[in-house]
A and B are shown apart, each in its own frame.
Chain A
């Protein structure tokens, strides 16, 4: 194959791929609305073009497959057959086969060995009219829909209005006929009369028929004359329309020439509105614009220091131009998300058909634009989410009917811009996520411990589905349920700086929300200084800036057991010091700055907020993101690097990585905040309690906030220190306080106290509590539950070490007085040193 040919083949491939994507969409659309003649004509046109081109290029196998498909489509288009699911499937099968062969051509230059005899046979068989088809329709069917509403029954129209069939080939008579006339230049929409006569419409000359439209439009010729001329042609007149018109005196020669010119110009112009540009060219352009932006930043900095009006004027202009250029170049890389959504109707149809479901897909915000690289990166995750929703989310039609829902499930894709990010939501109205089942599964798979499971919020549990090796599908289907996927979705989305979140209501449906940045190449960022170096913070994570003047620092920064926090509008904002996190200085004081003020950058990581204290806040700037080399890939705190205006390199902070490093986004914090959120959502002062069995099978509780951890120790690990039970815990000695003993009547206490642990009893349950900065373990008989309750019905305590009795979960529960327990335990401790220290702590 010579050079020219391979160029043609390349163009053919690119064009065909695009067309095939549209085919998928059109066919599925047609299945829903088989009367959509326009869509059908579009499908036909595409297949026809492919067939024609590959015949020309010598891909015979491909041509054969396309040919049978085209035959079927011809009959569908002519109304002899109607599109039923079987035919749609066969046609989609043909699309797949064509795609397969195109791939083959792309890699080998040949259309492969397979010529799909089964598929061709099926397509041929389906051309035979089945029941319900307009089977007896004459071969002379209409091509263009008649004016007026399309009637539901093809047959009735064909029989009752035969005259129309003859009129339709006439040139369009409406004022808006120009586009139609231009379209007619394409071989497929050439008047049906002609196609009927010739039998095979692929061999028609594509240039006829259109001049009439232009002539009518310009008013040079009457529509009737053109009809007459066309009829002449049909009768066998070999002359062209123009010649016939001139010959019959209906038009002047000049008019025809003028019309021909208009037509030629149109044909020339239309394809030139868009041109194909290689992606590598765009990428190169983007890099260059990046460099230009850097140079501009540099120039601006210089012009600010040099007192020169002309330089400043030039640099201002340069600034504007560069900004505009950047915007335009970015635009070339922007693609509407509809480009990847386009394939989803097909995906949904296939998956739904495969598992016997009925699903309608709806799309909102198709035109939302995203950078090309991001579009590519989210394509697979989104496809997976869509398949997942159909496969797992939406129930079988029978189940839906039972649940009182429409048999057909709804899958809604939404995309919209929000705060410089793109949100994509995939919502189904299916069964929703089952918290209990996920929790059970997570325990089975040992993804979480039972202790964690008991304490997790609903939302946390939902998000477990993004963990590797997790699938709640009862049975594994070929699409999903294999537990690979959701974690890949999350990783892929996070790789491009996005987040995934899932919300669900049992029985109502599930929404997966993906948030992704618009672009990765050039981002606005806040530049801060710390330890003499500059760092860039992506603007998307930035919430606000807070400056504490020197005299406010002492009041503004408080400590929660050593952890600095700042009260921001009444809420505690955890603070981390950038210099400390980055280990820039061994000893960093909060107010190390000369003026003693503290600059706090309030950031958002996941859905947590935290304050980042930095030495100095410089400015916001557009920065060009350059990825870090693999030597630095292990440093999770940085997302990349960039070159600043002065030519020095600055690192871009990875806010999420930084938060993770500083444990802002840790389990405990997560839990605490979630608990708080639930609390405030309920608009009551609910509290979370840990319920356990106390002495004498009484129901006792402590506030969950007092609890550090739940542990289980085998009795063998319990050692005696004097008469005190102790155990080794995380490299420390943990004093164990037996609730039974503490609450025992005084007379029995001594005896019970001395008893060493008995080996035959099972492992002991220990609540590790934090009190006044000291940990101790409270040995209880049994841990019952974790509940949330208002606990506002109180009554006085009936015994020592109990604060009061409350109603929790409608049952009387004793709330333990932790300091009292400590005192009680210490009184009986025989080790003087420990007793003294503990007593101190307790008081």
Chain B
């Protein structure tokens, strides 16, 4: 029966109370999604396809020669090179250390400032400050802080004597070379900078947990550990995973911070894959084709890692 407005017949639920013509759910769905998708496609499609094409060529950006097709040669060179494997391993170590610590510290910070107290708003804002500084600037200032002569790091450790003590970025401990210190040094900075990112997202998740869940648990005399494991963790997990997902992606792409501090050195101790990528693309011979191939290998790695996270994320959401 066709409904006629204003004659007492109840119109379909979707048009109740509105005399104006309005959009169907399908129209809204398209209206909401397509501007974003079109913008992303417009800006990303050409760079994605063009660099994919370049990855099969021997193109050098500084030469005026057109790209020459070399097939899979670039990929073969990369996968056969032991240095590249070492850079990937370094990147993996770096990602594992930084993302792991950021998750733990960020979660801890969020638990700490979770309940309101006097000045908690201000304190939370202050904890977020490291993330707000430009990575380039962060790199430069930590370089200054780590400086063995006039830096605060050595000074606070009590070894403020010029040139002695700890020279983190040169991997030196009282003049003796200690490999690994430089990677730890840059990891510390990354953790310092991005733990607040995890904290803020976890905090939003924590704030969304309904109080009655804890009250019910308290009535059942559940231990704090049980409450944490069975209420806090599962409820925060989706947002925490998004934070970890984005941090992992960024860790694999990590470039400006480390480049500013060590430039990959000493030797190749902090040569992350993204730094090497920059070197291939913009230093020396500007190996554009080769660096595009390298970028695609990185992309595949990131896609694989992201898929794991997303699978896990969907699993959690299915349970919740």
- Chain A bound to chain B: no
Q: Which residues of A contact B (CB under 8 A)?
A: none
Q: Which residues of B contact A (CB under 8 A)?
A: none
